[in-house]
Amino acid sequence: MKYSNEVEAALKAKRPVVALESTILSHGLPRPRNLEVAIEVEQIVRDNGATPATIAMIHGEICVGLKTDQLDQIANDTSVIKASTRDLAILAATKKSAATTVAATAHVAVKAGISVFATGGLGGVHMGDGFDESADLHSLSMTPIIIVCAGVKSILNVSATLERLETLSVPVLGYKTNRFPGFFLTDSGYNLEYRVDSLKEISDIWYQRKNVHTIESAIVIANPVMNQLDPVLHDKLLTKGIQAAEKQKISGKDVTPFLLEYFHRVSEGRTLDINIEIIKANSKLAAEIAKALK
């Protein structure tokens, strides 16, 4: 792995560091807003006392912390692909450039010694027969990291995703909420068993895991968006978006970016604004958590 000077210095000095995924940059937000948001999010992390470490693969090399030109490449190079953990060795061998998913970012972050990770929404179980499931879930079951998110993307099967997280022994903590957030929605309609209301509670749980020997998995901090999409509009967009994906025979890992783009376009940018609000709020909270852990 190759570290940016900023990240390397922070890790050596044992200062707080927050991992950031790059798939949001390459596939989650439209150009040119994607690069602007990436720069803004990194600054939010700095302003809240931590060092940002955006993770990606550049010409086959894993990079922990990106320079400005590397951020620009991930944001604007259309040949940049979306890479999960299984893809890393293949892309390293073929010298390809890729943006890392939640699974791949969490994997790299832990290997780099980073304990906190901010993203938008987790992947999960897709609608349908139940066999289409994001690698994020299995990855979180064996990756000891705190991941701050706005729940799972509301285009997924939320109930099935929560069941899978329980089966995989991944604890989910609602931050100042008893309800599981649904990305664009503050409330997905499902209760959470555990709630935390302070950074100290999160820190205490993180360190108590060592005492009870449950340090193998991630901890999910579910941070609900403040200004949600109108639920009626959301359900309409989801129904129409799924129909459009089926009509165009979109499947697998292409479904999520297709539906997100559909939401952004048909809502005339409203969901884009919410998506940006989510990643900014989660990055701020992640920086505060990273600082509290230190």
Domain boundaries, the chain: 2-120+127-232+278-293
pLDDT (0 to 100) of residue 294: 76
Mean pLDDT of 26-37: 90
Between residues 132 and 281, the one the model is more confident about: 281
**163 pLDDT above the threshold of 80:** yes
pLDDT (0 to 100) of residue 242: 87
* Cα–Cα distance for residue pair 253/220, rounded to 1 Å: 22
| Residue given tokens 């099967």 in the structure block | 157
Mean pLDDT of 241-259: 84
Mean pLDDT of 204-225: 95
Mean pLDDT of 18-32: 91
If one counts every other C-beta atom within 10 angstroms of the C-beta of residue 100, the result is 32
pLDDT (0 to 100) of residue 122: 92
Q: Which tokens sit at 183?
A: 């990305």
What is the pTM for the complete model shown? 0.94
Mean pLDDT of 133-154: 93
Taking only the tens place, the pLDDT of each residue in 257-273 is 788 889 989 999 999 99
Mean pLDDT of 72-84: 94
Q: Is 183 left (phi over 0), alpha (psi -120 to 50) or beta?
A: left
| Residue given tokens 């604004």 in the structure block | 273
pLDDT (0 to 100) of residue 129: 62
**287 pLDDT above the threshold of 70:** yes
β partners of residue 222: 149, 174
Mean pLDDT of 179-201: 96
Examine the residue annotation and report whether 95 is marked as an active-site residue of this protein.
Answer: no
* Cα–Cα distance for residue pair 88/160, rounded to 1 Å: 28
Confidence class of residue 136 from pLDDT cuts 50, 70 and 90?
very high
**172 pLDDT above the threshold of 70:** yes
Of 14, 36, 96, 153, the active-site residue reads: 153
Exposure of 211 in the CB half-sphere (CA atoms within 13 A)? 5
CATH class of domain segment(s) 2-120+127-232+278-293: alpha beta
Of 8, 12, 14, 21, the active-site residue reads: 21
Confidence class of residue 110 from pLDDT cuts 50, 70 and 90?
very high
Examine the residue annotation and report whether 8 is marked as an active-site residue of this protein.
Answer: no
pLDDT (0 to 100) of residue 256: 76
pLDDT (0 to 100) of residue 259: 86
User: Percentage of the chain surpassing pLDDT 70?
Assistant: 98
| Residue given tokens 């200062």 in the structure block | 15
Confidence class of residue 130 from pLDDT cuts 50, 70 and 90?
low
